[in-house]
Structure 1
Amino acid sequence: MSDLAQRRDDVVTPTQDDETRKVRYRGGGFSPKPRAFIAPIVFLVLVVIWEIGSHFGLIPPIVLPSPSEVLQALKDLVQSGLLWKHLSASLYRLIIGFTCGTILGLAAGALIGLWSYPRAALRPLVAAIFPIPKIALLPLFIIWFGIGEGSKVATILFGSFFPTVIATYGGIDAVDRSLINMGQSFNLSRWSIIRKIIFPSALPAILNGMRISASISIILLVAAEMIGAEYGIGAYVLLAGNLMSTDQLIAGVILLSILGLVVSYLISLAEQYFLRWRK
């Protein structure tokens, strides 16, 4: 009994401070928090440094014109009415090529990911053709579809098709098999499993593939418009480069950057809408 009493005395009784002390939350360290104000600040700092360097002659005008000169070139482009002509031509080619390439890529990727025979037939072809630089095929597309819009749209379509295919069947392959087995155990139909389990699980990878294919599409758009195009941002940049008008050249590059930001923003909105279940 004395040993038992001694053990009871050795036990430390928690005090009120120990019981009410809060433990710091250690989760959420890998969840990025939005900091919308940082990007504009960084952009403004870079523009100010650029303008100061141009004003004091540290940056030669022939190498890089000042932001005020680029802004004036953009203003002249708007006032002349050429901005909408170049922008509308580029948007027409980009929207048709990217949309068709994405739809075909989703269909082909779903076939490869879900069925054995299409997988055996199409996956080696995708692996063989995907590494080929698509701009190298532009002369062939010109022979097939002519120098007009067909060859340019086909180049963009071809460039956006393969990243979408790979992202689609890669996302399907990465779906947790236990979820599929659970759906089968509940006697769900094949279409229900695809629609309710496989497609939502693969959607993050698909949207990431679309983001990559959109960037590739803009690059191919510029390259295609530099060959036999009267209007388009790529044609405008090529003409400015031939005339050594660096202010117009940088203005065209800025337009391409804005176009890329808009496309990325639209895909981000799609991610927020379709992937809201992850929050």
Structure 2
Amino acid sequence: MDVDPPFDNNENSDQQSITIEKLLDYIALVALNNITGFKLSKLNTIKEALAKYNVKYNINLGITRLQKQAKVTFNDKDSYNKFLKMEIILQLKDENSDDIKNATLNISPLKPEKQVMTSDQQKENTNHHTIQVIDIPVYQKAAEIRASFEILGEIERLYTKCAGFYQIAYITYKSQEALTYFETNWRYHVGKDTVRVLPLSLNQDDHTLRKQFPLKLSGLAYNTSGYDLEPVLLKCKAKSCFIPAAMIRGRYSKYRYAYIHFSYDED
């Protein structure tokens, strides 16, 4: 039985491996709607124009038709980018007369290049669409939270997590305009519960301001909600309100005092 000779590892030890990389194609499209003539003659017109303007495209692939456009392929990005910026003017004979008219080639990329954002840029962009909501009682369902905040705009994503007797929610809106309300309003309502809202785009000074001027309001009636205190909060220009709660005999019960915050010491 014939066998292959054993492979000698030392025989090719000095040879270097060669990697052949596939060249990238850069494809531009040229509109055909403003070029007179039949299908083939339109492509020939473009070919002649590119030769006249010394456009360095891949002549081996030629100029081909792609639906209502002509496809021009380039091997290098510099020539491709230069072509996209060129103004190529054709002199065409009018179909209904012997008049000569000028037509400019309408050039576009096959796929517009996407702007690639860094992870920091993506995070910053998301932050300008996202709010953090705190002091949400544990009994509030995600659907109720969504329904309350969806009044301000379409919600793209909502995420909640538990923190003791409360929940923290992160709500990302599709439009940044939805967050305009929270530029001056620090509180919101989920049902009859008052919650505090912090846009993720707030800087450190804004965070400090929201904790700077607190006041404890005591002597509340049993199970008073933030919604019940709303007339008082409006009258004294309070910006936020937090009523602590605890589990007493297996029931979620609010304490009979609240912490309210102001934006100015004078308030």
Q: TM-score, normalised by structure 1?
A: 0.19
Structure with the bigger RCO (C-alpha within 8 Å, sep 6+) is: 1
Greater Cα radius of gyration, structure 1 or 2: 2
Q: TM-score, normalised by structure 2?
A: 0.19
Between structures 1 and 2, the one with greater helix share: 1
